[in-house]
Amino acid sequence: MEVFEQKGICINSSLVIDPANGSNADTVLISHAHSDHVHFNGKNSVLCSKPTLSLIEQNFKKAKNALPLKNGKKIEFDEFTLSVHNSGHILGSVQALIEGNKSIAVTSDFKLQDSLIQKGAVPLHCDTLVIESTFGLPDYSFPPRSEVYERMALWIKKNIKKNNYVLLAGYSTGKAQELTAFCNAFLGIVPLVHERVYNNNKVYEKHGVSLGEYIKLDHNLQDSSILIMPPALCSRHLVQALQFSLNKRVVCAKATGWNYRHHFDEVFPLSDHADFNQLIEYIKQAEPKNVLTMHGFARELASSIKRKLKIPARPLESRNYQQSLPEFV
């Protein structure tokens, strides 16, 4: 079997995982419903989990030739079988296991930590591991999620006690649902949520995820002391407008693994990606014979893998430079 990068992660010429825009592959696997992973046209056969399909159709467009996959169930191709497994990233997100003459695991975006609404990934044993490297530097080390929840709760309670209004920024698919559940579980407060968040909350609930109560934002700022918004909308201008409308101070916090404060008052390290330690732990448990890194700090992570784990590793590259698997086993 061959694995290479060519407008997505290609397995031989039969399957493309997380195709890039413009891919004309016959069959594509979409690992999850974040916009940078959702590319398909009317001709592709689209494989994804049922929750991912629901989120795609809510946020993007209808997939004409979609086949929802169940976790663990094998799909037959000419030279291999494919099965998908929870990646712990967002609702419906999957890692892929390809089994033929050798086995390949493709994590796509993942985390090992459980969250309030999502079970963490279980590492897949394989010969070759293709692993994301978004936070592939030792500098990126996240505290336990329970600790982050407690820190967030203390900060919000302190500000509400001061009669401040709290604006929470979290990606509308994934993070915002966790923030919704957090407000209910840790604060006992029903938050206001932006329309995009509200619609995705409904998809999560449709697939059995309990988030607690929430209210759709609709000229009703006084209905809660907390508002959850997509980060792209949380500008200084919005904060100023909210302060003018509410006649009180508005404090703004973002939940993300990137420690860039910008105009936010606080940043909480609540990420849906694995940090460096989780990346290394995944590799230890998967016990691959070789590792290919992708996205983010790919070269740096490959170097750490070789140094720390003594496993051959390098960034996944285009087909022009990629060799077939037997050359690395």
Question: Among 101, 64, 65, which residue's Cα sits nearest to residue 80?
Answer: 101
Q: Are 194 and 218 in contact (CB under 8 A)?
A: no
Whether residue 325 is predicted with pLDDT greater than 60 in this model: the reply is no
Mean pLDDT calculated for residue range 242-247:
96
Q: What is the pLDDT of residues 279-321, one digit of tens each?
A: 999 999 999 999 999 989 999 999 999 999 999 999 997 544 4
Looking at 230-288, which runs of residues are DSSP E strands?
A: 250-255, 266-268
At residue 146, the pLDDT reads: 96
6-31 in b/e form (b: 16+ CB < 10 A) is bbbbbbbebbbbbbeeebebebbbbb
Domain limits, the chain: 3-140+273-328, 145-268
At residue 321, the pLDDT reads: 40
At residue 65, the pLDDT reads: 86
d(CA 319, CA 13): 11
At residue 40, the pLDDT reads: 81
Helix (H, G, I), strand (E, B) or coil at 63: coil
Domain 145-268 belongs to what topology?
Rossmann fold (3.40.50)
Superfamily of domain 3-140+273-328: Ribonuclease Z/Hydroxyacylglutathione hydrolase-like (3.60.15.10)
Mean pLDDT calculated for residue range 116-137:
97
Q: Which helix (H) or strand (E) holds 301?
A: helix 298-309
- Give the position of tokens 């976790």: 71
Q: Are 171 and 55 in contact (CB under 8 A)?
A: no
Banded pLDDT at 175 (limits 50, 70, 90)? very high
Mean pLDDT of the chain: 93
d(CA 325, CA 318): 14
Q: Are 95 and 52 in contact (CB under 8 A)?
A: no
Q: Is residue 111 classed exposed, middle or buried when 0-12, 13-18 and 19+ CB atoms within 10 A define those classes? A: buried
Q: Are 31 and 93 in contact (CB under 8 A)?
A: yes
Whether residue 323 is predicted with pLDDT greater than 50 in this model: the reply is no
Q: Which residues pair with 229 in a beta bridge?
A: 169
At residue 22, the pLDDT reads: 67
Whether residue 207 is predicted with pLDDT greater than 80 in this model: the reply is yes
Whether residue 327 is predicted with pLDDT greater than 70 in this model: the reply is no
- Give the position of tokens 């993070």: 175
Give the β-pairing of 128-132 and 290-294.
parallel
Looking at 107-203, which runs of residues are DSSP E strands?
A: 128-132, 165-169, 192-193
Mean pLDDT calculated for residue range 122-139:
97
Measured in degrees and rounded to the nearest 5, phi and psi for residue 123 equal -55, 145
Looking at 18-74, which runs of residues are DSSP E strands?
A: 27-29, 45-49, 66-69
Give the β-pairing of 81-86 and 75-76.
antiparallel
Whether residue 329 is predicted with pLDDT greater than 60 in this model: the reply is no
Whether residue 130 is predicted with pLDDT greater than 90 in this model: the reply is yes
Whether residue 328 is predicted with pLDDT greater than 50 in this model: the reply is no
State the angle between helix axes of 145-161 and 175-182 in degrees (0 to 180), rounded to the nearest 10. Answer: 60
Banded pLDDT at 80 (limits 50, 70, 90)? very high
- Give the position of tokens 């995944």: 282
Q: What is the pLDDT of residues 21-69, one digit of tens each?
A: 767 788 999 999 998 888 887 777 899 999 999 999 999 988 788 999 9
At residue 324, the pLDDT reads: 35
